[in-house]
Amino acid sequence: MKVVSLILARGGSKGIPGKNIVDVNGKPLLYYTANASLNSNVNATWVSTDCDKIKKVAQNIGCKVIDRPEEISGDNSKSDEALIHFAENIDFDILVFIQPTSPLLKSSDINKGLQKMKNYNSVFSVTKEHWIPRWNENGEPDNWNINDRPMRQDVKETYIENGAFYITTKEQLLNSRLRYSGNIGMIEMPLHRSFQIDTMDDLKLIGKLLK
């Protein structure tokens, strides 16, 4: 059973220029998820990129690189397109798709996900969310009644994708064209390690959490 990971790290980024290799506490952002993967139970860690600079950084870290075609590297390109491109060109049985914007990911999280794949077709990382009152843009309660506000402990907890990683088989990926399908399981990560970097504020926060 050949298990590989794939980190998608294209060059274009509007929110934070050069985001995937931006300096975070003296190391490129890509280093953190790549290091988690390299120290996990995967057989090989790959990076899919359209950027020569990212390619060199990835190789220096110890990753293998697959060149991401221009037609699936634009702002509107979906991650699943790059996953399918990888699956159609690289030999593997199980794929761990990791997002470089989740630098608080640990190798133990990946290993827990791989262990759970014994009973599922796909697995992805989540964080638990307790009920909080949400409002829509019109200042109206979103799916709750202001006259009958529930107690937090009386509302079932939900789980939200934290975007850190997704695991699936090559067969499932090529058949469904999706990052997860079939019988799907979840791996819970704590909230304090579920933050993603999308803005400069995120970058500052996670830089402090990584110290």
Res. 26: pLDDT tops 80: yes
- Band (pLDDT 50/70/90 cuts) for residue 74 is confident
What proportion of the chain, given as a percentage, has pLDDT over 90?
83
Q: Which residue has the tokens 């990753």?
A: 63
- Band (pLDDT 50/70/90 cuts) for residue 13 is confident
Do the beta carbons of residue 149 and residue 78 sit within 8 Å? no
Rounded to 5 degrees, what angle do the CA atoms 197, 32, 38 make? 140
Q: What is the pLDDT of residue 99?
A: 96
Alpha helices per DSSP H over the chain: 29-38, 52-61, 79-87, 107-116, 170-176, 200-209
Say which of 134, 149, 152, 193 is annotated catalytic: 149
Kindly tell me the burial class for residue 143, based on how many C-beta atoms sit within 10 Å of its own C-beta (0-12, 13-18, 19 or more).
exposed
Query: Which tens digits make up the pLDDT trace of 140-168?
Result: 999 899 999 988 888 888 999 999 999 99
Q: What is the pLDDT of residue 56?
A: 97
Residue 46 identity (one-letter amino acid): W
Res. 191: pLDDT tops 80: yes
pTM of the entire predicted model: 0.91
Res. 88: pLDDT tops 90: yes
CA distance 161 to 45: 22
Q: What is the pLDDT of residue 152?
A: 82
Q: What is the pLDDT of residue 38?
A: 98
Domains of the chain as residue ranges with CATH: 3-129+159-209 (3.90.550.10)
Q: What is the pLDDT of residue 116?
A: 98
DSSP 159: E
Instruction: List, as one string, the DSSP characters of 99-124.
Output: -TT-TT--HHHHHHHHHHTTS-SEEE
Tokens of 112: 């827990």
Q: Is 134 labeled as catalytic in the residue annotation?
A: no
